Each structure stands twice: as structure tokens, then as C-alpha cells.
Amino acid sequence: MFKSLPTFERNNEHDVLVFGIFEGEEFPQGAEAVDRLLNDQVSKLKKTKKIAKQGEMTTVYPLGKLKSEAIYVVGLGKKEDVTTESLREAVARVGQQIKKEKSINIAFLVESFVCESVGETDVAVLIGEGLALGTYKVLDYKEKTNEVDKQLKDVTLYGQEIELLQRAANEGYTYGLGTNRARKLVNTPGNLMTPTDLAEEAKVLAEKHGFEYEVLERKEMEKLGMGALLAVAAGSDQPPKMIVIKYSGDKQSNELLGFVGKGLTFDSGGISIKPRENMHQMKMDMGGAAAVLGAMDIIGSLKPNVNVLAVIPSSENLLNGSALKPGDVITSLSGKTIEVRNTDAEGRLILADGITYAKQLGATSLIDVATLTGAVLIALGDCTTGAVTNNEELMEEILEASAETGEWIWRLPNYAPYKKMLKTSDVADLNNAPGRLAGSITAGLFIGEFAEDTPWVHLDIAGTAWQSKATTLGPLGGTGAMARTLAQLAVNKDIQQ
């Protein structure tokens, strides 16, 4: 889809030609040449201060002076204020517009987006990523018209490093598509995304990339002793699944990076039932599993020289005569017993068995991803993922990856008093819900009890996995949060070797 050429010519045909413009700056050579072909239309608009502000996009029509049907002039603001996040959003805004206009052939003057903080290759990555994110559309189930939905087919990058730009844009697009895969899974209604459906999605992904694939059924879980996952699943007629896919990119290495994603395909809260308001959104409680599958899609495409294991414990949390009850004591796969004080604290239960199983399969480091607590929304809002860890080195690697992808993470403390709160049961090793205080921290540290000495990071995406209104980077619904960060972590491990 992406190709690169050194120079834009008047007779080059595109539905849309895109170039950026900074406040108070001269045009780079390529953009200046286009402006001359347009009889200085853009520079005249700039002088009247009608364009160039960050977040603005102006359409200029060439009226036969170029073969392009339209020019999008993207305001980038002041050069010193530009970041990778602002450029990603600027390109995503272009993506939204071309989706609306049904454009299929577009071009970018890459040099016009370059500044001190973001070089030409990075701009190409952001173009690929921003276009994928900005053109994403939530699948709906409304009665359809006969109108054909046109898709973007060709993107030309005008710049000097032709092969490098093309490769970088394709890489960015791959990250965006992996995020969109995660979004699609999160946005699918619960009746169409059961644990069985989620297992099938993992199988399709494994077949696409040649991953190893396994799924454990209820009888196998019973034989192994996965009491925590089975207890949560007891309230639903849908059979639980323990889903495993594995990418072997470095068969000479014993290192195995483990991703464990919470695959709760619908969460009513169980006996500790949630309020009815917005319960329909709880189809998103498998956002951790979606992020892991999105990351594995990216990894399968980029093929870094690392080994990655993905484990997804999946069930529903509903309520029937067999459902888990407050006060029940269950035995996890690890052998640790758990007193259930709150059946709506179920994600940490299924992740307990997921973490233990990942360790049994040989994971040497672990990252679990989960829409785990409402408390993280109170602490960090809906723009930052909360993290808890037992290993500073692994935490720093994840923070570095998140900085590269623009997915913000904030580390929460893991001090001893928080860990003691988990031991407040009189009848079991652990209490799954010790109270409101430090709810996100204790929930994460509960999972850490099963990671034990294995390097581990917990990522709570309850605030970041779902957006309640459309933004530049995507529509209302699933965000695909952490898919890109997990993939970047794997890529960075390859680079660091």
C-alpha cells in the first residue's frame, strides 16, 4: 500500500495531497513548490493566520493546477511544541477525513512534517500508524445500504530516503492494524464474543502467522486444578477456555516473554452484581486479551528475534444456581487458596491461574494486562494505564516502550502494607477483595502473589481500554490500549540483544 518517491510533480495523480504547516515557519522546498503551482494560495492563507494552528486542517482545491483533486493543509502549531503524539493525531485527523470523503489514493510531503524532535523516518512511522488508527470504523449491525464502502489503497510518501520511508510507514501501519484488531474484539457484542469465539480468534491469528496454538477445555482444567478460573466460569453456560499461542523467534534462547490477558468476555459482577447503568459496556472486560492478541498480530508481522508466549484465561462472569458466592474458598492452580469476598473481583482470579500456567509453560518474565479495577479510573482517569511490578528492570523496559508508542503508564507503589492487606482472610491464604483502600494496588499485587519471583508487571487498563466519546485517534468504544506497547517491548528486546 505504501510507496515512496523523491519529488512531487504537477502531473502526479492523487485523490488527496497532504502537507503540514508550522506556525511562523517557512515552507520546506517540496511544500513551497506545491504552493507555487497553486499560485501561492496556501501562503496567502497562512499570512492571514487562517491556517497552521495545531488541530486545524484546511482543504484547498487546485482547480486544475495539479492532478490531485484536493490538498489537505494540516496545521501543526509551533515547531517547538510538536510531539510524536500531536503528529500522530494530525495524521489520524487526515485519516478520518479521507474515510469520510472515500479517498483511496493519497500522498504526503513527508519533509513538511519534520521538526527537531521528530525526524523523517519517525514521521513515516506516524503516517502509517495514524492512518490505520484514523480510518478505523466500528462494525455495526444496522440494516445495510447497497453503497460500497471504499477503502484506502495507495499512499505515496514524497521524501529523500525512499526505501527507508516505505519500510517505516509499513511498520507504523502494522502497529495501527494490530491496535485495530484489539479494538474490533473489544467492540464485538458479548453474545458474539464468547470464550469459544475468543479462542477461535486466537486460532485464526495463529494460523495467519504460524504460531503454536493450544486451548484447554473444562475437563483439562479440572484435571490440572485450575480452580480459580473454573470458579468464575461456574455461573455461566458458556464453557471457559485457557487459550495459548506461542511465537518462537529465537530458538537459540531460553528467554520467553509471557503476555497474560484477562479474557472476561462479559462481566455482570456475578452475585456481587454491578449497577445496571452502562453494564452493556462490560463486553469490554476482555480488553486485556484483546491487547495481547493485537500485540501478537504485530509481532507475527514484524517477526522480532524473541520468543513470546500469550496466555488468555477466558470465561464469562454471570450468575446462576452454580455461581461463585461471597465467602466461598477456592483453590487455584498454584495451590494457594482464596477467600472470595467479592465475586466482581473476578479478573484477578482467572489471571491467577493464567499467570501460574504461563510459568508452567516456561515464561521467564510476565506482563499481565487487564481491565481490572474501577479504582484506577479514580486514580489516573481514562488516559493513563496503572502499573504494579516486582521487577524494576522489566518495568523500565515497559515504560520505555510505552513512551515510544504514546501509551502512557504510571507506576503504582508495591510497599509491604499493601501486600499485608491481601492476607486478611481467616480461612484462606489470600483475600480477593480486601477493601476500597488502594484498590488498584492490592488488585495488582494479588496477581503478583502468583508471579512470585518471576519478573512481572501488571497493567490495569480499566481506564484506557474504552473511550466514552470519539477522539481524533478513534471512535467511541475500544481503544486497543497496550497492544502497541506490548509489541514494542518485544521489538525492543530484539534490538537490545
CA distance 130 to 93: 8
- Rounded Cα gap, residues 94 and 362, in angstroms: 44
CA angle (486, 488, 490) in 5-degree steps: 75
Amino acid at 463: G
In whole angstroms, give the CA distance from residue 26 to residue 241: 59
Question: Does 3.40.220.10 match the CATH number of domain 2-159?
Answer: yes
HEC-encoded secondary structure of 186-251: HHCCHHHCCHHHHHHHHHHHHHHHCCEEEEECHHHHHHHCCHHHHHHHCCCCCCCEEEEEEEECCC
> pLDDT, tens digit, for every residue of 286-301?
999 999 999 999 999 9
Provide the CA 117 distance to its chain's centre, in angstroms.
24
Using only C-alpha atoms, what is the Rg of the chain? 24
**447's grid cell:** 496477581
Find the mean pLDDT for residues 348-363: 98
Coil vs helix vs strand at 180? helix
Run of H or E including 17: strand 16-22
Contact assessment for residue 162 and residue 124, using Cβ atoms and an 8 Å cutoff: no
Separation between Cα atoms, residue 92 and residue 422, nearest integer Å? 43
**Under 8 Å between Cβ of 104 and 153:** yes
Check the annotation: does 460 bind a ligand.
no
Q: What percent of the chain has pLDDT over 70?
A: 99
Give pLDDT tens digits for 222-256: 999 999 999 999 999 999 999 999 999 999 999 99
Backbone angles phi, psi at 410, to 5 degrees: -125, 130
Mean pLDDT, the chain, rounded, equals 95
What integer is the mean pLDDT of 375-398? 98
Task: List the alpha helices (DSSP H) in 318-438.
Answer: 347-360, 375-380, 392-405, 416-421
pLDDT tens-digit map of 443-485: 999 999 999 999 999 999 999 999 999 999 999 999 999 999 9
Residue 277 pLDDT > 70: yes
What single string gives the DSSP state of each residue in 410-454?
EEPP--HHHHHHTT--SSSSEES---STTHHHHHHHHHHHHHTTS
| Helix axes 483-496 and 287-302, enclosed angle (nearest 10) | 40
The dihedral over CA atoms of 184, 189, 191, 196, expressed in degrees to the nearest 10, equals 20
Q: Are 478 and 287 in contact (CB under 8 A)?
A: yes
Every domain of the chain and the residues it spans: 2-159, 179-496
Q: Which residues pair with 67 in a beta bridge?
A: none
pLDDT of the residue at 53? 87
Instruction: Please tell me what DSSP assigns to residue 19.
Output: E
**Mapping DSSP to helix (H, G, I), strand (E, B) and coil, where does residue 267 land?**
strand
For residue 75, count other CB atoms closer than 10 A to its CB.
20
Contact (CB, 8 A) for 394 and 456: yes
Is the pLDDT at 375 greater than 90, yes or no?
yes
- DSSP for residue 81: G
Supply the pLDDT for residue 446: 98
pTM, entire model? 0.96
Assess whether pLDDT exceeds 70 at residue 147: no
Question: What pLDDT score was predicted for residue 146?
Answer: 61
- Percent of the chain whose pLDDT exceeds 90: 89
Whole-Å CA distances, 495 to 76, 304, 397, 490: 31, 8, 12, 9
AA letter at 45:
L
Q: Is the pLDDT of residue 317 over 80?
A: yes
Q: Is 346 annotated as a binding residue?
A: yes
Determine which of 62-71, 145-154, 330-339, 345-354 has the lowest per-residue pLDDT on average.
145-154
CATH number for the segment(s) 179-496? 3.40.630.10
Cα–Cα dist 114/26, whole Å: 13
Query: What pLDDT does 294 receive?
Result: 98
Least confident of 45-59, 154-168, 263-277: 45-59
**Per-residue pLDDT reduced to its tens digit, 29-64:** 888 999 999 999 898 888 877 787 888 899 999 988
Q: How confident is the model at residue 496 (pLDDT cuts 50, 70, 90)?
A: confident
Q: Using pLDDT thresholds of 50, 70 and 90, give the confidence band for residue 148.
A: low
262 is in an annotated binding site: yes
CA–CA separation, 414 and 53 (whole Å): 43
pLDDT score for 209 = 98
pLDDT for the residue numbered 384: 98
Residue 16 has pLDDT above 90, yes or no: yes
State how far the Cα of 245 lies from the Cα of 217, in Å rounded to an integer.
15
pLDDT band at 145 (very low <50, low <70, confident <90, very high): low
197 in a labelled binding site: no
Q: Is 267 annotated as a binding residue?
A: yes
Helices and strands, number each (H, E), in the chain:
15, 20
Handedness of CA 300, 304, 309, 312 (dihedral sign): negative
Active site residues: 274, 348
